[in-house]
Amino acid sequence: MTLHREGKNIMLWSAFFTIVLSTLAYYFLGCCCPIIYWILQVGFFVLLGLVVQFFRVPHRTCLGASTDIMCPADGKVVVIEETTETEYFHDRRIQISIFMSPLNVHANYHPIKGMVKYIKYHPGLFLVAWHPKSSTDNERSTFVVEHETGKEVLFRQVAGAVARRICYYPTEGQYVEVGQEFGFIKFGSRIDLFLPLGTKIDVSIGDVVKAKLTRIGEIN
């Protein structure tokens, strides 16, 4: 396991404030109120541990085949439905949404291999990530990758009520591999996928999924 580069400054500042608060607690409470002092100390370091674990990146090997649609993020499947995609395709698609809690790994990975055809960042609101309008009203980044079969898959990073920064790395025209990292969302969010109608789906609502390991479906 490694720690993600996007968390470098946050982790350093968190460690700095933990040391400062721990020192102040010792100075003011260490002798007169030892019980309160130790409770605060435990709380400070638990919070620091939570910040550090948020930026963890486990070592995983993506074993998806050339036509597999692999899970782009850790989390829980909260939506599987046919809907109209209004930004790029303007037609009916199968939407699959994966909710990431603050305890999940938040690195994001390409679900298929192919050519990046479209990238668009949208500023927006910060509704809770499971809100029905979060996919269209929240801060978000949209990507479309064209598979070698000619099929296109759209996937979207969606910020949540806590998430305040979306990071992404690909550029239009770039060829990407399935399981290659494409971004990171800080502190709670969701990923939406829009797949062609007729796509074989291998997950169900409520499934706990793992990035690079869980097969979402298959390009056909």
Q: Which of 14, 135, 141, 189 is catalytic?
A: 189
Question: What gap in Å lies between CA 160 and CA 97, rounded to an integer?
Answer: 13
**Nearest to 158, CA basis, from 194, 177, 181, 130:** 130
Rounded to 5°, the CA angle 186-93-108 comes to 20
For residue 44, give the DSSP letter.
H
CATH topology of domain 68-218: Glucose Permease (Domain IIA) (2.70.70)
**Nearest to 215, CA basis, from 67, 60, 71, 63:** 71
pTM: 0.84
Taking the domains of the chain in order of start, what are their residue ranges? 2-57, 68-218
Question: What gap in Å lies between CA 14 and CA 10, rounded to an integer?
Answer: 6
For CA atoms 15, 18, 22, 28, give the dihedral sign. positive
Q: Is 22 annotated in the active site?
A: no
Helix (H) or strand (E) holding 52: helix 34-54
- pLDDT 10s per residue in the chain (220 long)? 788 778 788 889 989 998 998 888 888 877 788 888 888 888 888 888 888 877 888 889 888 888 999 999 999 999 999 999 999 999 999 999 999 888 888 899 999 999 999 999 988 665 655 555 556 667 889 999 999 999 999 999 988 655 557 888 999 999 999 999 999 887 668 899 999 999 999 999 999 999 999 999 998 8
Residue tagged 């030892």 (tokens): 34
Helix intervals (H) in 80-171: 134-137
